[in-house]
Structure 1
Amino acid sequence: MNELESYISSFWNITGADLKMAASFFQQETIKKGTFYLKTGKICNSLSFLRSGLMRFYTIDDQGREVTQWISGKDGFVTELSGLMFNNASPSNIQALTDCECFTLSRTNYMAMEKSIPKWHQLEKLFIARCFIFMEQRVFSLLSMNAEDRYKWLFNYNPALFNEVPLQYLASMMGMTPETLSRIRKKLSS
């Protein structure tokens, strides 16, 4: 099993001939640091698995501040589901924080998979359910945890982010100010 097939298998639990067929729909691409994968108001036309690099999902609030929603890294995926599935304009930006290597599936190929893979509807349903469960966990953590617990949760989930991503993006993603993040880091490191 090659790297792309491993990604596909881990997200959609496809095996055998279906796995080979699914892999044939993806294209390898490079996205340079600073490049937008998606801009607010545009429709997302793809889904990508990150082989390497970091992508930041963010919006601009009413005061013009950037609010980081998520940072996806190696072995994560990148898309905006409401655009991919329903042709809705994106409320978010997705931008490469570093050079990124991706395996990308266009919307056209995503839709073609249902004709080529008999179990596609069942697999797609499980994939979207996993996305929803992950988002529920994130919302729960933001609503129910204090700032220190949110920091610990993110640090346990992906400690590498704290060495690779500007702190203001991490603070925003955890719903705190950069100053609060600095205090928590100092407290936990002493």
Structure 2
Amino acid sequence: MENLINALSFGGILSDGALEYVAGFFEAKIYNPGDHFLSIGKRSNRIGFVDEGIFRAYTVGGDVEEATKYFIRKNQFAVEIESFYENEPSSSAIQAVTQSKTLVIQRRTWHRLCEEVPKLYILTKSLTEAALLNKIKDNEFLHFGSAKDKYLEFINRYPNLAVKVPQQYIASYLQITPQSLSRIRRELA
């Protein structure tokens, strides 16, 4: 719960009492590798805070191949924002990559808390903006350079992910084939 409270302390928007109150509504849930926090076509009806582990957000392309959009790491929130706000079926999925402990709150509870604790709405917007900016910055390197350059930048930015995430998810995220990634890893070994 300490990591969640630290994350909710972002920007100093909520008082200590409000932090404890809001955090009290989250429930711990364990996800095994392959378990879905959110499936494609389902409504995003909860927010997860990753206390331990790694998730990936992915979509399925026209050729039925999965494309990893980004990874959700420790101390980050797992939510498909568009589906959560619009209450529409999600075009993306969120899946555990490693054994993960997540603190979860239901959408209706979160909205009720936003009414009870008005500054929670401000915090939500601030966290959403920060997450969006981080995703943009995180993904910038994917559009430039060779496959090898992308992989080297990935392991530089995310050394923990490079050793814990299965190769096919890394390749998908880097927009290269698993075979290319295997070749690059062999060259670098």
**TM-score using structure 2 length:** 0.87
Instruction: Write out aligned runs for 1:101-120 (5 A).
Output: 101-120=101-120
Q: What are the within-5 Å matches in structure 2 for residues 1-190 of structure 1? A: 2-10=2-10, 14-189=14-189
Shift of 1:112: 1.5
Contact 2:10–2:123, Cα closer than 8 Å, also in 1: no
- Alpha-carbon contact 2:28-2:103 (below 8 Å) kept: yes
Counterparts of 1:48 and 1:12, CA distance in 2:
21
1:153 CA drift (Å): 2.9
Q: Is the 8 A contact 2:98 2:165 kept in 1?
A: no
Identical residues among aligned pairs (%): 29
Alignment length (residue pairs): 189
Task: Give the gaps of 5 or more residues in structure 1.
Answer: none
For each residue in 1:97-134, what CA deviation from the matched residue of structure 2 results, as whole angstroms up to 9, or x when unmatched?
A: 23321111210121122222232232222111112212
Output the CA distance in 1 between the equivalents of 2:61 and 2:145: 23
Distance 1:125 1:30 in 2: 27
Deviation at 1:145, TM superposition (A): 4.0
Mean alpha-carbon deviation: is it higher for 101-110 or for 118-127?
118-127
- CA-to-aligned-CA distance 1:132-189 (integer Å, 9 cap, x gap): 2122224422223433332233212221222212111101101111232233333444
Distance 2:57 2:23 in 1: 26
Letter in 1 for 2:141: S
Is the CA contact (8 Å cut-off) linking 2:54 and 2:74 kept in structure 1? Answer: yes
1:47-90 Cα distance to aligned partner (Å, 9 max, x none): 11112222222222111211111222322221100111111211
Q: TM-score, length-normalised on structure 1?
A: 0.87
- 1:5, 1:60 → 2: CA distance? 34
CA distance in 2, matches of 1:93, 1:99: 17
Q: What's the secondary structure of 1:4's corresponding residue?
A: helix
* RMSD of aligned residue pairs (Cα, Å): 2.2
Q: Is the 8 A contact 2:13 2:119 kept in 1?
A: no
- Note the C-alpha offset of 1:96: 1.9
Secondary structure in structure 1 of the residue aligned to 2:104: strand
Q: Structure 2: which 5+ runs fail to align? A: none
Distance 1:156 1:66, change over 3 A: same
Letter in 1 for 2:72: S
